[in-house]
Amino acid sequence: MTENAITVTGLTKIFGDKTVVDNLDMTVPRGAIYGFLGPNGSGKTTTIRMMCGLLTPDAGDGQCLGYDILKQSGRIKEHVGYMTQKFSLYEDLSIRENLDFIARMFKVKRRKQRVDNALEDLGLADRQKQLAGTLSGGWKQRLALAACLIHDPQLLLLDEPTAGVDPKARRDFWDEIRRLSAAGVTVLVSTHYMDEAIQCDNIAYIAYGKKLIDGPSAEIPSMIGLVTYRVSGPDIAKLEDELKGRDGVEQVARFGAVLHVSGTDKAKLKSIAAEFKARGTHNWTEKTAELEEAFIYLMAGAADNFANGVAA
């Protein structure tokens, strides 16, 4: 058994004249919860599909669960659970019928017992006769996760699994993800939510086909070298306009009634903070930069190679 669940090098995918994924390297340790972040159209879904053998890269290679992504895609699919961004089960079948169908596809042994267990594990037993098409977003999410797990995969690939569901359903989902990770299942999850990103052991951030950074989630802001001040006081919108464009201020982000003012030149930003503090109108407090500031900063410097099109 390899130490890493996924190791890919130089992954590239081109559609027409657009490079959707550009020379991407990534390593996902076994047993980790690995966050895959980026804006819509950044190439996350295309990357996930190449990693599990559903899509052939135009360049690059790698392994998933010890199998070659170019030559052994069939073996990879036997051991991976893939939850697509859009609900993709049969809406005119019941919850049980959907799970039984997926179990048949994977030739699951003791199929009825395994389906019964899946219904109990995800809290679906009482609704097992309900048609999938009549479920709310949160219940569809549970069903999709149950279908992913029916064959006891070693790796879960979850493509924006909590988009469009309520906060409680998101919390319940992440409780289940942590339980699976503790049991040794590797999870690669793409998300837009910062409260979900901080629950990941590691994070990779991709923008418009290029990986910008990856590392332990808690270390991403310090890897960028971002310095941040929290600023509160009156006329915050006016202050925001005044700060934008100042040499040393690389980012001004509004968080409710306060501003987070960031830059990578600590001395310059400290000087600006001292200048504005001297006015006595606003409170400036240096704070530890967090993931959200880091990702806003990364996005500001990313060039959109799909300004006139759409990436997957």
The pLDDT value recorded for residue 252 is 94
Give me the CATH code for the 4-220 domain, please: 3.40.50.300
* Amino acid at position 194, single letter: M
Output the pTM of the full model. 0.85
List, in sequence order, the alpha helices (H) in 183-300.
Answer: 194-197, 220-224, 236-243, 266-277, 291-300
Name the CATH architecture for the domain at 227-288: 2-Layer Sandwich (3.30)
- The CA angle 10-32-162, to the nearest 5 degrees, is 90
Separation between Cα atoms, residue 147 and residue 127, nearest integer Å: 15
| pLDDT, tens digit only, all 312 positions of the chain | 568 999 999 999 999 999 999 999 999 999 999 999 988 888 999 999 999 989 999 999 999 999 999 999 999 999 999 998 888 899 999 999 999 999 999 999 999 999 999 999 889 999 999 999 999 888 998 899 999 999 999 999 999 888 777 888 888 888 989 999 999 999 999 987 888 888 899 999 998 889 999 999 889 988 999 999 999 999 999 999 999 989 999 999 998 899 999 999 999 999 999 999 999 999 999 999 888 888 888 877 655 544 545 445
Question: How is the chain split into domains, by residue range?
Answer: 4-220, 227-288
CA–chain centroid gap for 138, Å, is 18
To which residue do tokens 């987070």 refer? 260
Sheet holding 4-15, edge to edge: 18-29, 4-15, 59-64, 67-68
Count CB atoms within 10 A of the CB of residue 183: 8
